[in-house]
Amino acid sequence: MHRIGFDVGGTFTDLTLHNTATGALHHFKLPSTPADLSDAIASGIGTLLCQAGVSPSAVGFVGHGTTVATNMVIEHRGVRTGLITTRGFRDVLEIGRQVRPNLYDYTVRTPVPLVPREHRIEMRERLDASGAVLQALDEDAVAAAADALGAQGVQAIAICFLHAYLNDAHERRAAEIVRQRLLGVFVCTSSEVLPEFREFERFSTTVINAYIGPRVDRYLHRLLARLAELGVATQPYTIHSNGGLMPVETVRRFPVRTCLSGPAAGVVGAAIVGREAGFPNLITFDAGGTSTDVSLVERGQPAFATSRMIAGYPVRMPMVDVHVIGAGGGSLAWLDDAGALKVGPSSAGADPGPVAYGCGGDKPTLTDANIVLHRLDPEVLLGGRMWVDEGAARRAIQEQIASPLGLSLEQAALGIIRIAVANMSRAIRAVSTEKGYDVGGFALFAYGGAGPLHAAAVAAECGIT
């Protein structure tokens, strides 16, 4: 049997084919296709099968990690979403909690709710703190709310009632009514998504599930269609944010569970390799094209968390504890209003990508800096399959960074790399020294396109020997 695993990143898609009988491995990497991610997946799988001389019918397992859901939340690319909730609670999403990540930042701005106030409708219904019914659900009001939201063009509806984690009867009935009146609209309830107390976190997680649901479903539909076109009959599994596997139908119902899918897969894999290599204590350092994901592995086991913030929105579920920052090969280098050099968090992504890729990018990136200094050999990128315009990278850094700062081209390129390394090192300290761990007892496990490239500098910066 042959197994295929692939990771869909914001910049590149990586694929591996494993022959379980012989242990043989084949790898392939190609740029992601943001307009339709399945294009890169299908092209990569087809190339792998051709290279290995394997029939699609011989593939018995397909598994993948993805940041599709995370990126939708970060970039606000979900669908128009509605919320049906208990009377008096439609502003829970906006009120949130009195949490100040940056204590002295008087300019802080809270994230805009994913459901605008006009799309949040209150219902007459009430349960007490034990789940007993205090006021029956007004079914006519639910029907009217569904009609109103449908008229507003919503494509997804989250149903979140007070204390529904103890008694889901009202939420289930409301969902039935909405589905009957709005065919094709994605509907989810908080008692299914997160049957736990703490209304704000439960509401937020359920709303995110609804917000990304239709687009994740379309992504899966395209993925299944492309696999079928290739002749791969097996259904793909997706990595859960806790490192486990989910079938397609589970992902369609609970897409929020994939919010840290790709990063979680990397940490779980690193933990296995580390144990086998005799390094049970690891700091995993996954630097890709768009982001850097850092986590801690202690005694061979990944660290886990029960909640985290994604783009400022709380998501509550079991997950591998990954610290994510906007620093990767595609991170843009720029000058702020005071003329200081910055790198990230914005990224050139796969489209248009770094200037050197010649795909329309005109802003210098970390990758361009590495090409200018020949830390990345422009002749062998992607095994020589990817053309690189070193001259364009040099001109972009010279004109936009070096000349305004009065630096040589090489000094400017090195400055870009040093700032990126400082950002990456800060993320490592956040999961290690700032939590009381001595990094001297951990090995740095670097992977991802930009991870090994910057690993030595990051290790030196953090004192990892």
Instruction: Convert the pLDDT of each residue in 390-418 to its tens digit.
Output: 999 999 999 999 999 999 999 999 999 99
pLDDT value, residue 67? 83
Q: Are 11 and 32 a contacting pair, CB within 8 Å? A: yes
pLDDT value, residue 288? 86
**Separation between Cα atoms, residue 314 and residue 113, nearest integer Å:** 11
The band of 76, judged by pLDDT with boundaries at 50, 70 and 90, is confident
What is the pTM for the complete model shown? 0.88
User: Going by C-beta distance under 8 Å and a sequence separation of 6 or more, which residues neighbour residue 117?
Assistant: 90, 91, 94
Greatest mean pLDDT among 163-177, 282-296, 353-367:
163-177
Note if the bond before 352 is cis, omega within 30 degrees.
yes
Residue 329's H or E segment, with its range, is none
178 compared with 72, residue with greater pLDDT:
178
pLDDT value, residue 111? 87
* Burial environment of residue 150 by CB neighbours within 10 A (0 to 12, 13 to 18, 19 or more): middle
Would you tell me how many other CB atoms lie within 10 Å of the CB of residue 324? 21
Pairing of strands 236-239, 186-189: unpaired
Over the stretch 214-226, which tens digit does the pLDDT of each residue have? 999 999 999 999 9
Helix (H/G/I), strand (E/B), else coil: 206:
helix
- Average pLDDT value over all residues in the chain: 93
Q: Count CA atoms closer than 13 A to 320's CA, side-chain side.
A: 32
pLDDT (mean) for 342-360: 88
The band of 350, judged by pLDDT with boundaries at 50, 70 and 90, is confident
CATH number belonging to the domain at 77-211, selected among 3.40.50, 1.10.1760, 2.30.30, 3.30.450: 3.40.50
Q: Which CATH superfamily is domain 2-72+217-261 in?
A: ATPase, nucleotide binding domain (3.30.420.40)
pLDDT at 345 over 90: no
pLDDT value, residue 359? 86
pLDDT value, residue 347? 85
The band of 104, judged by pLDDT with boundaries at 50, 70 and 90, is confident
| Strand runs labelled E in 218-312 | 236-239, 245-246, 282-287, 292-298, 301-302, 304-310
Would you tell me how many other CB atoms lie within 10 Å of the CB of residue 172? 15
Over the stretch 130-180, which tens digit does the pLDDT of each residue have? 999 999 999 999 999 999 999 999 999 999 999 999 999 999 999 999 999
